[in-house]
Amino acid sequence: MDPMREGAGRVSGVHRVGALLLAVVSIVGASAVVAVVHAGAASASASTGKWDPRIAGLAATVEKLRKLRFDHPVPVVFLGEKAFQKTVRIDESKLSKGQRDQIATSASQLSAVGLIDHGVNLAKTVNALTTTGVLAYYSPVTKRVTIRGKNLDVATRVTLAHELTHALQDQHFDLQKLDRAAAKNQSSSALTALVEGDAVRVQNAYLMQLPASDQTAYAQQQGSVSSGVKAAVDDKNVPLGLEALFEAPYAFGPPMLDVVISQRREKGVDALFRSPPTTDAAFLTPTTLFDGTQVRSVAAPKVNGPKEKQVGKPDTFGAFALYLVLALHDDPANALKVADGWGGDRLVTYKFAGATCVRASFVGRTRDDTAAIGSALDRWAALMPAGSAAVEKTGSPITFSSCDVAAPRLAPTHSAEDAAVFAASRDELVSVFAKQGLTLAVAGCTADSVVGDPSLLSLLETAGTTMPDPTTLTDLRGRVTSVVGDCTARAAT
């Protein structure tokens, strides 16, 4: 389910790597601190045939970090605050009726599955998400970078490293062509995770090579920006479910690519651009890129009789949306296990008794996975307003229906943000273990076991944001080493 493409990149609240990785990343070899930062996104100006001297050196650095050469310089435009904001906002007064209807349908889809409340103005909330904290963007349409203001401070330079990576991607792989193909096969979220994940990893590499004083200044700037973003998002009452969907590419794209690099080195990233992933299972469960998983074709569920009227064409629901929906009311470890077993789906939107409804049919990777999806959705539907959701579990596929109604809902037991952090942390662990030489099967098993063990997870979380004390670290290493041993034995059977 990809209601709207993500907007210009900004500081992400979803991806917070703390004690969980700080403690575990050093199990093999010396200790390390993992710094993951998110900023900047995408659009820009007119060609002069030469690099703007203010960013020429940065462009050369990005070439080295991304291991690709620019075919030609990228034009740059510097805009004042009002002019810049105008380029990244949705002007609701200029939307056509068709566009307004599409946005309203997207809002109702998200509300029907509990990711936002009934009646949310999606255009306003999207504006809050896409305009707050944005410092620059690259546009594949205009082939230019647009920069907010004229101050090239460290935060703007780090953002430009991100945006110039997008320009490199465009020159080598044609982002518009990739976008069209992804829209055609409903895989835009998977492509966005690839595109943004690649830019985030180059941005991070650029940041880590800066002098310590610049890194400190950047952290301070980002802290200020993050506070401003949170205040603006809170002020606009942006639903956490929508925020999690928007930020997912920045949180899940980098570990997905780290897994690819652990198996195929840097060339694997370029290969993925030439043949992008087609489902969001690729970034939710990155081991599926290599374990032979085949997504199954699922027939669109039927719209029943004259009382139901289909809206638009069939679409996909997706593994990540399934995970978020389930994790709001279930233990995230259980929800993630169910979503990891996703094997394919098909979604239709329809009108019934004046309400917008969704109906999706799911299959799992195995028969047991299909049954687990059905049981999880059954528990979820029981928590929805009376009569608004139902699940059909007679055989395969599993089909559920849910309508956007104004009736009060039970408060979620977990926020979408916390659920996204949990899953992204699991994927970070998979990439860490894979880079340390474990097979993907063992890396995935170990990461699942670590995040799925409440006592171990609690021990990691209470270690804080600094390296644990020696006794705690020794305990962590011993327990995780034991998990690795168990997973290795399991993989050998």
CA dihedral 222, 223, 228, 232 (to 10 degrees): 90
Residue 360 reports pLDDT greater than 70: yes
In a domain, 493, yes or no: no
- List C-alpha distances in Å: 348 to 145, 242, 298, 309, 441: 38, 20, 12, 10, 35
Tens of pLDDT, residues 234-274 = 655 667 778 888 889 999 999 999 999 999 988 999 999 99
Shared-domain flag, residues 263 and 333: no
Among 142, 104, 133, smallest CA distance to 120 is for 104
Shared-domain flag, residues 73 and 146: yes
Write the DSSP assignment of 320-357 as a string of letters: HHHHHHHHTTS-HHHHHHHHHTEEEEEEEEEEETTEEE
Q: How far apart are CA 319 and CA 104, in angstroms?
A: 23
Burial of 468 from C-beta contacts in 10 A (0-12 / 13-18 / 19+): buried
Shared-domain flag, residues 314 and 273: no
In a domain, 5, yes or no: no
Dihedral sign of CA atoms 146, 147, 152, 155 in order: negative
Mean pLDDT value across residues 291-302: 93
Residue 32 reports pLDDT greater than 60: no
**Phi, psi of 131, deg, nearest 5:** -110, -20
Residue pair 78/364 in contact (Cβ under 8 Å)? The answer is: no
pLDDT > 70: percent of the chain: 84
Structure tokens at 234: 């809170």
Structure tokens at 438: 């474990």
| pLDDT at residue 459 in the model | 63
**Phi, psi of 467, deg, nearest 5:** -60, 135
Shared-domain flag, residues 222 and 371: no
Shared-domain flag, residues 273 and 371: no
**Which residue is associated with the tokens 């002007």?**
91
| pLDDT at residue 95 in the model | 82
Q: How far apart are CA 233 and CA 243, in angstroms?
A: 9
Confidence category of residue 91, pLDDT binned at 50, 70, 90: confident
Mean pLDDT value across residues 221-233: 67
Q: Which range has the worst mean pLDDT, 75-79, 102-106, 143-147, 207-211? A: 102-106
pTM for this one?
Answer: 0.87
**Phi, psi of 425, deg, nearest 5:** -65, -40
Shared-domain flag, residues 274 and 313: no
The distance between the two most distant Cα atoms of the chain, rounded to a whole number of Å, is 68
Q: How far apart are CA 48 and CA 33, in angstroms?
A: 42
Structure tokens at 89: 């906002």
Among 35, 420, 79, 63, smallest CA distance to 219 is for 35
Q: How far apart are CA 209 and CA 14, in angstroms?
A: 24
Shared-domain flag, residues 135 and 200: yes
Among 11, 34, 28, smallest CA distance to 425 is for 34
N- to C-terminal Cα distance for the chain? Answer: 37
| pLDDT at residue 470 in the model | 76
Residue pair 252/197 in contact (Cβ under 8 Å)? The answer is: yes
Shared-domain flag, residues 210 and 259: yes
In a domain, 181, yes or no: yes
What amino acid is encoded at 385 in this protein?
P
| pLDDT at residue 96 in the model | 87
Mean pLDDT value across residues 192-221: 94
Q: Which range has the worst mean pLDDT, 46-60, 260-274, 290-304, 466-480? A: 466-480
**Phi, psi of 389, deg, nearest 5:** -140, 145
Mean pLDDT value across residues 77-85: 92
Confidence category of residue 36, pLDDT binned at 50, 70, 90: very low
Shared-domain flag, residues 188 and 255: yes
More confident residue, 456 or 75: 75
| pLDDT at residue 493 in the model | 83
More confident residue, 13 or 203: 203
- List C-alpha distances in Å: 69 to 64, 178, 208, 344: 8, 20, 21, 38
| pLDDT at residue 229 in the model | 60
More confident residue, 327 or 410: 327
Residue 408 reports pLDDT greater than 70: yes
Collect all residues with Cβ–Cβ distance below 8 Å to 198 and sequence separation of at least 6. Answer: 66, 165, 169, 253, 257, 269, 273
More confident residue, 325 or 48: 325
Element (H, E) at 315: strand 308-315
What angle, rounded to 10 degrees, do the helices at 175-184 and 188-208 form? 140
| pLDDT at residue 225 in the model | 67
Residue 133 reports pLDDT greater than 50: yes
Residue 295 reports pLDDT greater than 90: yes
More confident residue, 428 or 91: 428
Q: How far apart are CA 32 and CA 84, in angstroms?
A: 39
- List C-alpha distances in Å: 466 to 33, 62, 222, 238, 454: 9, 30, 19, 31, 20
In a domain, 56, yes or no: yes
Shared-domain flag, residues 208 and 329: no
Structure tokens at 363: 């299959």
| pLDDT at residue 236 in the model | 55
Q: How far apart are CA 100 and CA 95, in angstroms?
A: 6
Q: How far apart are CA 197 and CA 260, in angstroms?
A: 12
Structure tokens at 13: 């609240």
Residue at which a domain ends, from 403, 427, 442 = 403
Confidence category of residue 321, pLDDT binned at 50, 70, 90: very high
- List C-alpha distances in Å: 343 to 106, 289, 330, 368: 24, 13, 20, 11
Shared-domain flag, residues 171 and 250: yes
Question: Of how many residues is the chain composed?
Answer: 493
Residue at which a domain ends, from 229, 256, 278 = 278
More confident residue, 154 or 232: 154
Strand 144-148 to 76-79 pairing: parallel
Phi-psi region of 218 (alpha: psi -120 to 50; beta: other; left: phi over 0): alpha
In a domain, 194, yes or no: yes
Number of domains into which the chain is organized: 2
Shared-domain flag, residues 185 and 36: yes
242: domain range?
A: 19-83+124-278
Confidence category of residue 231, pLDDT binned at 50, 70, 90: low
Q: What is the mean pLDDT of the chain?
A: 84
Residue at which a domain ends, from 372, 403, 434 = 403
In a domain, 98, yes or no: no
Give the count of beta carbons closer than 10 Å to the beta carbon of residue 184: 9
Tens of pLDDT, residues 386-402 = 999 999 988 789 999 99
